Structure 1
Amino acid sequence: MKSLSTIVAVALTTMAVVVSSATAAPALAAPARTQGGAGTLLWEDQFNGYGGPDPAKWGFQTGRWGASSGEQQYYTDSWNNANQSNGSLNITARRENPPDRKQAPYNFTSARVVSMYKQSATPPVRIEASIKMPRAQGLLPAFWTLGMQPGGEYSWPSQGEVDIVEIPGMYGPSFNLHGPARSNPNQDVKAGGSMNPVDSGFHTYRIDWLPTSITWFVDGIARYSLNQAQYEAKGGNWTAFSGTWPHYILLNVAVGNNWTGKTLNSTPYPQTMSVDWLRVSRL
């Protein structure tokens, strides 16, 4: 998906092992809850403040994150790109002169809001949010996690990435997992599914994440599931998803990507992703 700009160049020099679903996954049964403390709220944000996101829960990753994977935006910490208003966190991509003064086609700003070093999640856990996500050619709004691998917090893909939901361009919600191959921590083993586009309103996107499996939901309906045995059968190393280390949460709107293609001159801007609420609960 959105590989970290400081490390993705290394990953691109290796042969990625890619396993993805070409069709929408069927609805699946929710995994059983574990005993003891099930349903306990660990942390949440209702985004009822005003101004920037709550600094006790969120920070920013600024600059040209994702540039090596074809992204066109400069991420800022400006309220112009990320702010709380009307009970939502609003992340807005804009066609404008960026702080580094790069010209077209890199003349976009956006925000990458992260809970790194502030809040985290470790399985067994439920992570969910109500989000209104834009659809437009070349756009990639996302709600996802990255692993806090000790000493490898920026070591993609070995740290592990869970894409709770992405909207690639004009397509429907996509659910993906990125992690390392057993034989090479720099090889990306990807597995995922997708579904038809949803309407333009708010939808609840969620994962139920156990130490040996992850199930993705949209509006309470399971759409894709992956377990440790299936991932390892593809050559992947499940360690990053086992609970060995926690993950932090990211919310961002990328512009352009090697996956989605460049945004078009005809694509209207600004484009905003609004998050009504976000919750992390123990399963």
Structure 2
Amino acid sequence: MDFAGSGIVHMAGGVGALTGAIWAGPRKGRWENPEEFDPHSLPLIILGTFILWFGWYGFNCGSTLGMATLERGYMAAQVAMNTTIAAATGGLTVFILKYGLTRKYDIGGFCNGILAGLVSITAGCGNVECGSAFAIALLGGLFYVAGSVLIKKLKIDDPVDAFAVHGVAGAWGVLAAALFDWGKDFDHYHGWSGFSCMTAEDGSCKTGLGGEGVAANIAEVVAIMAWVAVCSSLVFGPLRAVGWLRASDDVQDVGFDQAKHSPSKGYASTIPPDNTKVIESEI
């Protein structure tokens, strides 16, 4: 059960990001300074998050493959409601949790919480009810925070928490699609909206998959993780070997915007005076 791609899309991307981060190694000075590197632009992070949220309705609802019939229209509406609940729940869960831990308003965490909620519900948006969508996203937000903390403890430099958001929440979403499937006869696998379904011995649509569905989704998680990790390593490994995977220390000192992009004066207020020669030499 992976209706719109928590596993095959998001978890795959998250594992690929983790593999790339491991091969590339941490940015210069990342773990010497205990404070996090400043984000590039918080307004752009917020804008990007809400663009993604809006696009998710096409991503999830579009997986019904049309609304030509009343049944498919009902299903798309259910998917849209689950998607909305999950996004809001994931964001608020992480926002409240981080405020409780740090007594600070973490807007970046709020945005990643929204995405974690969306990723978590993507697999099960077509076969769970609204209450389940709330629970799935709440746990997805918690798993995102736990994954983010773990990656930092392991000193793996994941600048945008791609693995925690997409890999961890994606794996949870795949498992949740089976764990929260109550066999209500309205999902992709039960043929409620005209799709082919998992057939029982008597020819009817199989419902209440229980352990069989959970086992199948565990197998999906393991298979995708292994496949993506191996294939990504086959790409990132040679790039690291020939020195094409990492930016030089000099470029990292000033950032790609200053070293490689034009006009560099667009960020003049952020350039340390002693790095001017470095920028000129790189250009």
Instruction: Output the TM-score relative to the length of structure 1.
Output: 0.24
Of structures 1 and 2, the one with the larger relative CO (CA 8 A, separation 6+) is 1
Structure number with bigger Rg: 2
Higher strand fraction: Structure 1 or Structure 2?
Answer: 1
